[in-house]
Amino acid sequence: MNHEVVDFGLTAKEKEYLRDQVKVVIKARLESVEASDEKPESAVLKEKRGAFVTLKKNGELRGCIGYIEAYKPLYQTIREMALAAAFNDPRFPQLELKEWPEIEVELSVLTPLREIDDPDIIEVGKHGLLIRHGASSGLLLPQVPVEYGWSREEFLAHTCNKAGLAPECWRRSGSKIYIFSAEIF
């Protein structure tokens, strides 16, 4: 099963700009210099969008942080989340300069969240999940269940686990399930 392609109309040049911004801000921090702060010309990159930055080393997760909802212009979100994924993901030590040449960058630009009542509408490979129960919440991007070969129920269970909850939390009264899609590049 593959991840379904979602297209927000970002051009190849806009995607390249965003990927370059990740590299600029992380490399500047690693080298203890100030990152350039050029603003994009593209109106699309100035739109408020939720987005995640994923860093991988040798194909393994090395950091992944993002905003679920649109708080800031996309280019700013990408810059901030790049630094957060590299230096503030609590699951990993801070990225070091010697690792930088081995790091692969993946960006996920999100659609708005949509609450659902029927988990059967979740499409593995198309939807990402956010599950909230009480003060706990867990999120997994659309590409995660594809990478691990999970079924819909496994996807739901792992999203509950990500929230620090029991795997069947999604079945409980009071749990809220949200879906979203993402353009991944």
Sheet arrangement for strand 114-116: 114-116, 175-180, 128-133, 136-140
- CATH numbers and ranges of domains, the chain: 12-110 (3.30.700.20), 114-184 (3.30.1490.150)
How far, in Å, CA of 75 to CA of 77, rounded?
A: 5
Confidence at residue 28, expressed as pLDDT on a 0 to 100 scale: 96
Please state, as a whole number, how many other Cβ atoms lie within 10 Å of the Cβ of residue 131.
Answer: 25
**Per-residue confidence at 1, pLDDT binned at 50, 70, 90?**
low
Please state, as a whole number, how many other Cβ atoms lie within 10 Å of the Cβ of residue 13.
Answer: 10
**Per-residue confidence at 8, pLDDT binned at 50, 70, 90?**
confident
pLDDT in tens, 72-86: 999 999 999 999 999
Candidates 29, 22, 25; CA nearest to 96 is 29
Supply the angle between the helices 12-30 and 74-87 in degrees, to the nearest 10. Answer: 40
**Per-residue confidence at 3, pLDDT binned at 50, 70, 90?**
low
Cα distance from N-terminal residue to C-terminal residue, the chain: 18
3-state helix, strand, coil in the chain (%, to 5): 35, 25, 40
Mean pLDDT confidence for 124-140: 97
